[in-house]
Amino acid sequence: MYDIFDDEFKQIFEESEKESIQKSDFLNSLNEPINLLPKLEFISIQDNSNLSYVIKNLKKYNSGCILLENKNKISGIFTERDAMKKVLGQKLNLEKEPIVKYMTKSPECLRWEDPIVFALNKMVSGGYRHIPIIDEKKHPLGVISMQNIIHYLGDYFFDEIVNLPPKPLREQTSREGG
Protein backbone atom coordinates (compact mmCIF):
# COMPACT_ATOMS: atom_id res chain seq x y z
CA MET A 1 0.00 0.00 0.00
CA TYR A 2 1.27 3.43 -0.95
CA ASP A 3 1.12 6.24 1.57
CA ILE A 4 1.42 9.84 0.38
CA PHE A 5 3.43 10.71 3.48
CA ASP A 6 6.15 8.19 2.58
CA ASP A 7 7.51 10.54 -0.08
CA GLU A 8 7.49 13.48 2.30
CA PHE A 9 9.26 11.53 5.04
CA LYS A 10 11.81 10.30 2.50
CA GLN A 11 12.48 13.88 1.34
CA ILE A 12 12.80 15.15 4.92
CA PHE A 13 15.24 12.35 5.75
CA GLU A 14 17.34 13.05 2.63
CA GLU A 15 17.51 16.80 3.40
CA SER A 16 18.38 16.08 7.03
CA GLU A 17 21.14 13.69 5.95
CA LYS A 18 22.51 16.27 3.48
CA GLU A 19 22.61 18.96 6.20
CA SER A 20 24.36 16.54 8.55
CA ILE A 21 27.05 15.83 5.94
CA GLN A 22 27.52 19.56 5.28
CA LYS A 23 27.85 20.26 9.00
CA SER A 24 30.37 17.44 9.36
CA ASP A 25 32.41 18.76 6.41
CA PHE A 26 32.33 22.24 7.91
CA LEU A 27 33.49 21.05 11.34
CA ASN A 28 36.27 19.00 9.75
CA SER A 29 37.37 22.05 7.75
CA LEU A 30 38.02 23.97 10.97
CA ASN A 31 40.70 21.41 11.80
CA GLU A 32 42.52 22.15 8.56
CA PRO A 33 45.82 24.05 8.92
CA ILE A 34 45.90 27.83 8.82
CA ASN A 35 48.09 27.76 5.71
CA LEU A 36 44.97 26.91 3.66
CA LEU A 37 43.61 30.41 4.30
CA PRO A 38 44.48 33.15 1.81
CA LYS A 39 47.82 34.72 2.70
CA LEU A 40 47.76 38.38 3.67
CA GLU A 41 50.67 40.64 2.92
CA PHE A 42 52.08 41.86 6.19
CA ILE A 43 54.36 44.63 7.34
CA SER A 44 57.14 44.06 9.82
CA ILE A 45 59.06 46.97 11.36
CA GLN A 46 61.74 47.22 14.04
CA ASP A 47 60.30 47.94 17.49
CA ASN A 48 62.66 50.89 18.02
CA SER A 49 60.63 52.90 15.49
CA ASN A 50 58.57 55.92 16.43
CA LEU A 51 54.80 56.11 16.45
CA SER A 52 54.69 58.42 13.43
CA TYR A 53 56.60 55.97 11.22
CA VAL A 54 54.37 53.06 12.21
CA ILE A 55 51.12 54.97 11.67
CA LYS A 56 52.33 56.25 8.28
CA ASN A 57 53.02 52.65 7.24
CA LEU A 58 49.61 51.48 8.45
CA LYS A 59 48.07 54.11 6.20
CA LYS A 60 50.50 53.69 3.28
CA TYR A 61 49.94 49.94 2.98
CA ASN A 62 46.27 50.08 4.00
CA SER A 63 46.96 47.44 6.60
CA GLY A 64 45.05 46.56 9.76
CA CYS A 65 48.21 45.83 11.71
CA ILE A 66 51.99 46.00 11.76
CA LEU A 67 54.18 43.33 13.30
CA LEU A 68 57.07 44.68 15.35
CA GLU A 69 60.28 42.79 15.72
CA ASN A 70 63.51 42.92 17.65
CA LYS A 71 66.52 40.93 16.40
CA ASN A 72 64.32 39.22 13.77
CA LYS A 73 61.92 37.92 16.42
CA ILE A 74 58.40 39.17 16.93
CA SER A 75 58.18 41.50 19.91
CA GLY A 76 54.79 43.10 19.41
CA ILE A 77 51.88 44.06 17.21
CA PHE A 78 50.34 47.47 16.60
CA THR A 79 46.85 47.55 15.13
CA GLU A 80 44.55 50.25 13.84
CA ARG A 81 42.50 49.58 16.94
CA ASP A 82 45.55 50.37 19.11
CA ALA A 83 45.90 53.65 17.22
CA MET A 84 42.27 54.55 17.95
CA LYS A 85 42.26 53.51 21.60
CA LYS A 86 45.75 54.53 22.72
CA VAL A 87 46.77 57.41 20.45
CA LEU A 88 43.76 59.20 19.00
CA GLY A 89 42.73 62.30 20.94
CA GLN A 90 46.00 62.65 22.86
CA LYS A 91 48.43 65.52 22.44
CA LEU A 92 51.50 63.56 21.40
CA ASN A 93 54.58 64.32 19.36
CA LEU A 94 54.33 61.22 17.18
CA GLU A 95 57.93 61.65 15.98
CA LYS A 96 59.24 61.31 19.54
CA GLU A 97 56.90 58.66 20.90
CA PRO A 98 58.41 55.14 20.81
CA ILE A 99 56.10 52.47 19.41
CA VAL A 100 56.97 50.15 22.31
CA LYS A 101 54.79 52.32 24.59
CA TYR A 102 51.72 51.66 22.44
CA MET A 103 52.18 48.22 20.90
CA THR A 104 50.78 45.01 22.32
CA LYS A 105 53.90 43.29 23.63
CA SER A 106 54.49 39.56 23.15
CA PRO A 107 51.27 38.91 21.23
CA GLU A 108 49.77 35.45 21.09
CA CYS A 109 51.04 33.79 17.93
CA LEU A 110 50.30 30.70 15.88
CA ARG A 111 52.10 28.64 13.25
CA TRP A 112 50.99 27.83 9.71
CA GLU A 113 50.40 24.18 10.65
CA ASP A 114 48.05 25.02 13.57
CA PRO A 115 44.35 24.34 12.91
CA ILE A 116 42.05 27.17 11.89
CA VAL A 117 39.94 26.47 14.98
CA PHE A 118 42.93 27.55 17.17
CA ALA A 119 42.96 30.94 15.45
CA LEU A 120 39.20 31.27 15.80
CA ASN A 121 39.41 30.39 19.49
CA LYS A 122 42.16 32.94 20.19
CA MET A 123 40.29 35.63 18.30
CA VAL A 124 36.99 35.04 20.07
CA SER A 125 38.36 34.48 23.58
CA GLY A 126 41.06 37.16 23.36
CA GLY A 127 39.14 39.72 21.33
CA TYR A 128 41.85 39.82 18.65
CA ARG A 129 41.31 40.69 15.01
CA HIS A 130 44.84 39.80 13.92
CA ILE A 131 47.15 37.00 15.02
CA PRO A 132 50.80 36.84 13.93
CA ILE A 133 52.09 33.66 12.34
CA ILE A 134 55.64 32.69 13.34
CA ASP A 135 58.12 29.88 12.84
CA GLU A 136 59.80 27.85 15.59
CA LYS A 137 62.41 30.63 16.06
CA LYS A 138 59.69 33.29 16.49
CA HIS A 139 60.45 34.88 13.10
CA PRO A 140 57.31 36.55 11.73
CA LEU A 141 55.97 34.73 8.65
CA GLY A 142 52.58 36.35 8.25
CA VAL A 143 49.40 37.42 9.92
CA ILE A 144 45.89 36.00 9.92
CA SER A 145 42.86 38.23 10.31
CA MET A 146 39.29 37.64 11.37
CA GLN A 147 38.34 38.61 7.83
CA ASN A 148 40.36 35.66 6.47
CA ILE A 149 38.39 33.27 8.62
CA ILE A 150 35.03 34.88 7.79
CA HIS A 151 35.72 34.52 4.06
CA TYR A 152 36.74 30.91 4.61
CA LEU A 153 33.55 30.18 6.57
CA GLY A 154 31.52 32.00 3.93
CA ASP A 155 32.54 29.35 1.40
CA TYR A 156 30.75 26.72 3.51
CA PHE A 157 27.58 28.77 3.86
CA PHE A 158 27.57 30.25 0.36
CA ASP A 159 23.94 29.40 -0.47
CA GLU A 160 22.64 30.68 2.86
CA ILE A 161 24.57 33.95 2.51
CA VAL A 162 23.72 34.56 -1.15
CA ASN A 163 20.02 33.92 -0.55
CA LEU A 164 19.67 36.48 2.25
CA PRO A 165 17.32 39.38 1.54
CA PRO A 166 19.09 42.70 0.88
CA LYS A 167 18.17 44.04 4.31
CA PRO A 168 17.62 40.95 6.50
CA LEU A 169 17.36 42.76 9.83
CA ARG A 170 14.72 45.25 8.75
CA GLU A 171 11.20 44.71 9.96
CA GLN A 172 8.29 44.80 7.59
CA THR A 173 6.63 48.20 7.96
CA SER A 174 3.51 47.56 5.94
CA ARG A 175 1.40 44.58 5.12
CA GLU A 176 1.86 43.06 1.71
CA GLY A 177 -0.82 41.25 -0.23
CA GLY A 178 -4.54 41.02 0.27
Full-model pTM: 0.75
Categorize the per-residue pLDDT at 4 as very low, low, confident or very high, splitting at 50, 70 and 90: low
Q: Convert the pLDDT of each residue in 66-117 to its tens digit.
A: 999 999 999 999 999 999 999 999 999 999 999 999 999 999 999 999 999 9
**How far is the C-alpha of 174 from the C-alpha of 98, rounded, in Å?**
57
Angle formed at CA 155 by CA 64 and CA 172, multiple of 5 degrees: 90
> What are the pLDDT digits (tens) for 11-51?
655 655 555 555 667 777 889 999 988 887 899 999 999 99
User: What are the structural domains, with CATH classification, of the chain?
Assistant: 34-156 (3.10.580.10)
> 128: exposed, middle or buried (C-beta count within 10 Å: 0-12, 13-18, 19+)?
buried
102-115 b/e (C-beta count within 10 Å ≥ 16 → b):
bbbeebebbebebb
**Cα-only R_g, the chain:** 23
